[in-house]
Structures are given as C-alpha cells and as structure tokens.
Amino acid sequence: MISEFQTAEQLGLICRRRREALRLRIEDAALVTGANYRWISEMERGKATVQLGKVLHYASMLGIGLAVTLPEEMEHGEAPRQDGKDAAP
C-alpha cells in the first residue's frame, strides 16, 4: 500500500497507526527500536525537529519503507553521488 505524506504530522500519524496495528505500546516500540518514549511520542505527534536518521530507523523497524519522488529532469539524469556532493558541471 502506498501512503503519501507532506508533513511531519502526517508521517507521525502513519507511524503511530502502524505501531498500533502491530499492537505495540510506545514502551514496547522503544524497546524494539532503541528509541526512547519521549522521542517516539514527539515524532508520532509530528514534531518537525526530530532527527531524520532516527525517523528513518524508526519507520524501518516498524516495517515502513520511505521513498522519494524525483522531478522529471532527474529521472533520466545522473544519480546523486554517494558522498552527497554535487557532480562537477
């Protein structure tokens, strides 16, 4: 199933619904994912300043995969470099 989101609140809600579907309390999710109760609570309520790496890990541990939709001009162009730097012009 594909569920698009545009905001931190929407992604937080997706994660919360998945956690609840797995019948995990926040305490249980904290044990399984290595995150703490407060962070999970804030993330699931849409706090915009949570760390991206932690969000990606938490979502992955819940079985949620995240994808990026690239603009058309990037679809056939050069892939981003692994070091995060732009290719030379």
Structure-token match 């290595």, residue found: 34
Collect the ranges in the chain with pLDDT lower than 70: 75-82, 84-89
Q: How far apart (Å, rounded) are the C-alpha atoms in residues 73 and 1?
A: 26
Q: How many residues does the chain have?
A: 89
SS3 content of the chain, % helix, strand, coil (to 5): 50, 0, 50
Q: Considering just the CA atoms, what is the radius of gyration of the chain in Å?
A: 16
pLDDT for residue 6: 82
**pTM for the predicted model, two decimal places:** 0.76
pLDDT score of 78: 60
Task: Decide if 46 contacts 7 (C-beta within 8 A).
Answer: yes
Looking at residue 62, what is its pLDDT?
94
